Amino acid sequence: SISQVRFSPTHPDHLLVSSWDTTVRFYDVAANEQKAKFDYCAAILSCLFGDSTHAYSGCLDTGVR
Residue among 22, 19, 26 nearest 4 (CA): 19
Q: Is residue 36 part of a domain?
A: yes
pLDDT of residue 28: 97
CA Rg, the chain, in Å? 11
pLDDT of residue 51: 82
Structure confidence by residue, pLDDT tens digits, 12-58: 999 999 999 999 999 999 999 999 999 999 999 999 999 878 999 99
- Other residues' Cβ atoms within 10 Å of the Cβ of residue 65: 13
Q: Is residue 40 part of a domain?
A: yes
Stated length of the chain: 65
In terms of residue numbers, what domain contains 30? 2-58
pLDDT of residue 21: 95
Query: Which phi and psi angles does 27 have, rounded to 5°?
Result: -120, 150
Q: Is residue 32 part of a domain?
A: yes
Could you tell me the pTM of the whole model?
0.89
pLDDT of residue 53: 83
